[in-house]
Structure 1
């Protein structure tokens, strides 16, 4: 499917990019990151303009986040009960609930780009738990802007060499995620020691 979608970029460009990021934010298996890298390559080649490309990538993601949030708000308990029947989804949803309880705004922001597999589940969880829409939207827009900027920017910087850009981003984001985990664990240990837990 990835090759088929990539072949459509020159013809449908921004609409395809927005639709792909929208669908990926609904937990559907669409290669949004690869498409954003490719779009960045088209920007470098002069076939697409940078600002509309970033807007399409982020806009699709924001729309997908909003749909997930409002689905959670409208169908929350019933939908979560059905999704939790699958053990894999149940684990992701349990993590999403725990994150929202502790760090809602940070969770929404970071799951747009750094921990993106959790993003759709955080959207549903935020809606179903009644997390404030203004805070959700602000954090979501900021996170989607970072996501689009990183991937479109990397595609632009690598001038369309999707494989090299993908490998570089995987390495960099892996280091950032690892460093974040170390900082969070350090903070938790420090807090536990101070409170005597």
Structure 2
């Protein structure tokens, strides 16, 4: 994936309105264009939470943008999968086929149904693949939509609030330890990277085991 530290560094330096636009766009493009296979959408939402703590954006606006992007993007991914699913699966980047991510997503939808939409929300590769596979599998649109909205709201609120709380931690460090802006950003990069790694590790534990 693109370096998390580079993406975070760019996002934090952007004007608040542009950060809010990316909070919508990155989650929206994850499943609809498979961007999530390369850039996880939670990066923009976490940074949006940090920016909200600084007072440059209201937290509710960050959450609303993230929910809208996540739900609309996955809904588009479902419709794309329903119409072009097999053709798109054949073009999945080889490294995700070799790593087993594609097989995990297929097994997750096959065994868990709508629950897969909720579980898949918490790992970037699954978040990009599960909506399209749900459409390909013939999951009813109403069933997918309910799971998509519920998962999108829960994910958006959780990630945005984590970013907001992280922003509070960095401000405290900056005041007490006299850290400069670059040092605070370095702490942000480390903490966000650890959170992303933990989310993916937890998802691997809950996903069905791969068949040999």
TM-score after normalising by structure 2: 0.73
On the 8 A contact 1:110/1:116 being kept in 2, the answer is no
Answering whether residue 194 of structure 2 is matched by residue 173 of structure 1, we say no
On the 8 A contact 2:117/2:151 being kept in 1, the answer is yes
* Structure 1 segment 60-79 matched on structure 2, within 5 A: 60-79=69-88
On the 8 A contact 1:22/1:63 being kept in 2, the answer is yes
Give the equivalent residue in structure 2 for 1:27: 34
2:130 to 122, 125, 141: 122
The total of aligned residue pairs comes to 181
Tell me the distance in 2 between the aligned counterparts of 1:129 and 1:179.
23
Give the equivalent residue in structure 2 for 1:4: 10
The 1:27/1:82 distance shift into structure 2, 3 A limit, reads closer
SS at match of 2:139: coil
Tell me the distance in 2 between the aligned counterparts of 1:167 and 1:92.
20
Tell me the distance in 2 between the aligned counterparts of 1:179 and 1:4.
32
On the 8 A contact 2:40/2:124 being kept in 1, the answer is no
Give the equivalent residue in structure 1 for 2:121: 112
The 1:171/1:5 distance shift into structure 2, 3 A limit, reads closer
Answering whether residue 15 of structure 2 is matched by residue 15 of structure 1, we say no
SS at match of 1:8: coil
* Structure 1 segment 85-96 matched on structure 2, within 5 A: 86=94, 88-89=96-97, 91-96=100-105
Answering whether residue 146 of structure 2 is matched by residue 138 of structure 1, we say yes
Tell me the distance in 1 between the aligned counterparts of 2:105 and 2:194.
27
The gaps in structure 1 that reach 5 residues or longer are: 186-197
Cα displacement (A) at 1:133? 1.0
SS at match of 2:45: helix
TM-score after normalising by structure 1: 0.78
